[in-house]
Amino acid sequence: MKKRRPVTAGSVVFDIIIYGLLALIAACMLYPFLNVIAVSISDYSSYLKNPLRILPGKLDFSAFEYVFSSSLILSSYRNTIIITIGGTLISLTLTILTAYPLSKKHLKGKRAIMNLFIFSMLFSGGIIPSFYLIRSLKLLDTLWALILPGTISAYNIILMKNFFSSLPESLEEAAKIDGASDLYILRKIIIPLSTPIIATIGLFVCVGYWNSYFSAVLYIRDQQKWTLQLLLREIIMSANTQLLSSGGNLAEISKDAIPPQTIKYATLIVVVLPILCVYPFLQKYFVKGMMLGAVKG
Amino acid sequence: MIPKVNLDRFFLRIGSCTIYLGVMGSMSAINAKRLQELQTTKPKKKFQSYFLANKWLYIMLIPGLTFLFIFHYIPMYGIIIAFKDFNVVKGIFNSPWVGLENFKYLFKSKDFYIILRNSVSISLLRMFWGFPVPIILALMLNEVRHIHYKKTIQTILYIPHFISWVVIVGIIYNFLSPSTGIVNYIIKSLGGEAIAFLQDERYFRSILVISDIWKESGWGTIIYLAAISGIDECLYEAAIIDGATRLQRIRYVTIPGIASTIIVLLILRSGSILRNGFEQIFLMYSPLVYDVADVFETYTYRVGLREGRFSYATAVGMFQSLVGLILIWTTNRLSRKFGEGGLW
């Protein structure tokens, strides 16, 4: 449709400005990452020569060797992976199970249950009562404290529910006549049809767990239970990077040789990389899912 | 011979017959009552069969509702800590009531006015500078006609949304570092003096707002792009026939087409004016900038969990939640009036 628009000189200038500006903005978004990556894999002397670089100078991966030789980083990595996978699975299951009945127009008591969920979005007990709850459940300093409180999100349930409602009812009716139970319909018909929204919400939840920091600040003291974000924060804030070497097998790398900044940048990359790797594959799903879920919000 | 047992049965039958007759006799008297009973039992049965027919749907709701109850509603009950002199050893039940003492203390303290001022002004600054950016970006993206260029730009714009504040603040710390940071490297190479941006009250809020825009603007375009895609293509065709330039088409077709979305988002945004989120500010601030940076979330955390004043901190949090609830409820009603349905 848009092809039929007349091409004038003004239009071309307009295009150039828009395309140029967008390219500039995109460059602003990418620059910090490129710079951090370039510095983390370069020799420090090339950083000092040109700190603004986006291309690596003399390659030097010793910062990464150092980071991965730290036992603290490995245990944090393990903890983060556990809470991310565990949290995403539990959360997706709960969200699907809750959203499906609520997507039924005829369900009695639906309105009241929806209101309970919506109210939980608008009002919360706050930090202290939540902390006290976790303490009373004896979950302090366990990974469960990082997984369980975030599993139910009213927002995700509403997104999922809206998607389910948009599916044609005739499919379910046909299965119902054949004697299928609701559970069977959900498993065999609804879930296979809902991959875009499940991928979308799965991505949100997964990224949320990977990036979560506040709950770890609240509930985790034990260094063995630290998550990546918590560790990264401590490394960024410390003047030296001694933290990483505690208990680690540093082998032949002497820690004085690697400047703290390079190590900090290498740790940053180690924390971000999994997200950046998953993102392009799920990206095609989530925009679609967002828009479908937002219909009749 | 009729066995005894059968005789017994026979008399029993007669007995029950008399009872039956007796009941029938009194039937007319309680006829109205019985009718009522019938009317009430009928829907009850209907409800039971409805429930049975949909039992899986209700069973599916149980786990979600259990989690909701435990992790959202029990903490709401825990809010009574704000009205008590809470002591961890005694627990919530046994701690003595103090009424509104904690709130009185809150409203008298100087801190309250500082955090209220900071919370409101930081979110106003965010709204003023940050709100228009996704709209402008979406309008620009909509003008891009090469689908691959558009997709690439969008992919890049969405990335920062998925990066944690810990990482972003980590980058900011290093970039702004007075000794090794690249920003000060530029300032120094231009002949200026190094500035400790994050420790300076003059720059702190700007850094807060800019980093927020950098992280969330790209993501914010999605909703506007969805709104734009809903505009009828005929309007553009008509505008072209009328000789409208591209700027005029944006001004007179696209912007009016997404105006209701803009208004609703603006209203809803102003409903969360007391909320600034915890992580970004907590990660960036330091005692040097508390005066301009401390907001409800960070203050609650500090006095509650660092200083151990549980009751007072709960009162602070409750004030924020309660005023926030009223604000968002009001703004949601407002946005419904604009015919856009609001949040729920």
Structure confidence by residue, pLDDT tens digits, A26-74: 999 999 999 999 999 988 888 888 888 888 888 888 889 888 888 899 9
Burial string for B275-301 (b: 16+ CB within 10 Å, else e) reads: bbebbbbbbbbeeebbebbbbbbbbbb
The pLDDT value given to residue A280: 77
Residue B2 scores a pLDDT above 70: no
In this structure, what DSSP letter does residue A42 have?
B
- Tokens representing residue A117 in the block: 């969920």
Partners of A233 on chain B (C-beta within 8 Å) are: 166, 170, 283
**What pLDDT band is residue A209 in, cutting at 50, 70 and 90?**
very high
Q: What is the mean pLDDT of residues B134-162?
A: 93
Question: Looking at CA atoms only, how far is residue A225 from chain B in angstroms?
Answer: 18
Residue A267 CA to residue A68 CA, distance in Å, equals: 9
Question: Looking at CA atoms only, how far is residue B115 from chain A in angstroms?
Answer: 16
Q: To the nearest whole number, what is the mean pLDDT of chain B? A: 85
Assigned CATH for B101-165+194-337: 1.10.3720.10
Domain span(s) for CATH 1.10.3720.10 in chain A: 63-297
Question: Degrees (nearest 5) of the Cα angle B233, B237, B241?
Answer: 170
Structure confidence by residue, pLDDT tens digits, A141-189: 999 999 999 999 999 999 899 889 888 888 888 888 888 888 899 999 9
Structure confidence by residue, pLDDT tens digits, B56-113: 999 999 999 999 999 999 999 999 999 998 887 888 888 889 989 999 999 999 999 9
ipTM: 0.89
The pLDDT value given to residue A6: 58
Residue A127 CA to residue B100 CA, distance in Å, equals: 19
Partners of B324 on chain A (C-beta within 8 Å) are: 122-123
SS3 content of chain A, % helix, strand, coil (to 5): 75, 0, 25
The pLDDT value given to residue A172: 83
Provide the percentage of residues in chain A whose pLDDT is more than 70: 87
Please answer yes or no on whether B305 and A107 come within 8 Å at the CB atom. Answer: no
Q: Which of A14, A28, A127 sits opposite B301 (nearest CB)?
A: A127
Report domain A63-297's class. mainly alpha
Structure confidence by residue, pLDDT tens digits, B254-297: 999 999 889 888 888 888 899 898 999 999 999 999 999 999 99
Question: Degrees (nearest 5) of the Cα angle B289, B295, B301?
Answer: 100
Residue A194 scores a pLDDT above 60: yes
- Tokens representing residue A129 in the block: 């009562």
**What pLDDT band is residue B342 in, cutting at 50, 70 and 90?**
low
The pLDDT value given to residue A287: 66
Sign of dihedral through CA atoms B203, B205, B209, B215? positive
The SS3 call for residue A30 is helix
Structure confidence by residue, pLDDT tens digits, A66-103: 888 888 999 999 999 999 999 999 999 999 999 999 99
The SS3 call for residue B97 is strand
In this structure, what DSSP letter does residue B170 have?
H
- B329: nearest CA in chain A? A122
Sign of dihedral through CA atoms A169, A171, A175, A181? negative
Sign of dihedral through CA atoms A43, A47, A50, A54? positive
Please answer yes or no on whether B175 and A32 come within 8 Å at the CB atom. Answer: yes
Structure confidence by residue, pLDDT tens digits, A225-267: 999 999 999 888 886 666 676 544 444 444 456 788 888 999 9
Structure confidence by residue, pLDDT tens digits, B4-63: 444 444 444 444 444 444 444 444 444 555 555 555 555 567 778 888 888 899 999 999
CA B67 distance to own-chain centroid: 17
Lowest mean pLDDT among A89-93, B13-17, B129-133, B304-308: B13-17
The pLDDT value given to residue B38: 53
Q: Which residue bears the tokens 């901190």?
A: B313
- Tokens representing residue A44 in the block: 């420090």
Residue B160 CA to residue B137 CA, distance in Å, equals: 15
Please answer yes or no on whether A101 and B63 come within 8 Å at the CB atom. Answer: no
